[in-house]
Amino acid sequence: MARNATPCNFFAILKDDSVRKIDLLQSITENIKNVFINNASSIMTSDTEEILFDGNFKIDGDEVLYVEMDLPENVIEANSNAIGLEVLDITKDDIKTLFWIEDDIYYFQNFDKRKLLQNKNVIFYSGTTYHKLKEDALIVENMVNAIYQDGKFYFKSYANANKIISLSDFFEEASNETIEEFAGNTIFELDLDWLKENSDTMIRKQITLIQKSQIIVSASPRKIKASAKKFNLDIEMENGKLKLPNDKKACKNILSFLNEQYYFGLISGKKFITNSKRDV
């Protein structure tokens, strides 16, 4: 069967923030489109009240958070010049997000490796018999995690939205009071006076992000230290806690790691900090 000859609407953002197009057979294009269009109501309807995101995570069911922003150029290119994009190869591409574009509206869905069906014994039911899936596949779930329309990025969950596009720029810098709250986390051993005096804009935004996301609430210091070693990031321990050093560069690296901004390049195996493509 011939592939869909109409313009491509289905894409993936990879962990390194590059974009791939996903070619679909004509026979399933409408089904995939409906997954995104029909589930958009979980984010917003005509009656949903829009709340400008300022770091507050608590909203009611009839409200939606948004930030005013421009999409990355390569995501916009998917809408204007999909022909120039590489086709997704799930045997090597590390997917972060799936998205559909329809009438200049972008519908985003989070993705992780649990939705990849590779080297697994997946069986499906046909008629009265179960058959084994022989090809690699991916799962498109019945959900939408964020929508972009008319210069606004809409979402219900910060945690889900931040996996699609970094929202750290939309956080206010941590006040000294917020830094004190951060220092009170039981996993840290740190010099509070030094941290207050030496926290620049980047450090304060990272601290705000950690506090708002509660990403370290149930974290294990020893597990964090072991994971950091994979990126040649040595975090000292003191009294069974993570030692935050009195060194701005080292402090920033640790905070970036705690915000899960480090990753491995799938092909090269190199270590990167997300969005900067900078060797660690």
Q: Is the model's pTM score more than 0.75?
A: no
Work out whether the CA dihedral 159, 161, 165, 169 comes out positive or negative.
negative
- Helix (H) or strand (E) holding 278, with range, is strand 278-279
DSSP bridge partners of 21 = 11, 87
Position 270 scores a pLDDT of: 65
Low-confidence ranges of the chain (pLDDT < 50): 1-5, 276-279
Position 67 scores a pLDDT of: 93
- Share the mean pLDDT of the chain: 86
Query: Do the Cβ atoms of 209 and 259 come closer than 8 Å?
Result: yes
As given in the structure block, the two tokens for residue 260 are 């899960």
Position 156 scores a pLDDT of: 94
Position 85 scores a pLDDT of: 92
Query: Do the Cβ atoms of 251 and 235 come closer than 8 Å?
Result: no
Angle between helices 201-213 and 248-258 (to 10 degrees): 30
Work out whether the CA dihedral 104, 105, 106, 107 comes out positive or negative.
negative
Q: Is 216 left (phi over 0), alpha (psi -120 to 50) or beta?
A: alpha
Position 199 scores a pLDDT of: 92
Angle between helices 248-258 and 221-229 (to 10 degrees): 110
pLDDT tens, position by position, 184-200: 999 999 999 999 999 98
Q: Counting Cβ atoms within 10 Å, is residue 38 exposed (0-12), middle (13-18) or buried (19+)?
A: exposed
Distance of CA 12 to the CA centre of its chain: 12
Please tell me the distance from the alpha carbon of residue 69 to that of residue 141, in angstroms, as a whole number: 26
Domain ranges of the chain: 10-165, 171-279
Position 239 scores a pLDDT of: 92
For 259-262, which contacts have Cβ atoms below 8 Å and span 24 or more sequence positions? Answer: 259/168, 259/206, 259/209, 259/210, 259/213, 259/215, 260/215, 262/231, 262/233
pLDDT tens, position by position, 109-157: 999 888 877 667 767 778 777 767 777 788 889 999 999 999 999 999 8
| Residues 138-171 as b or e (16 or more Cβ within 10 Å = b) | bebeeebbbbbeeeebbbbebebbbbbbebeebb
Position 265 scores a pLDDT of: 64
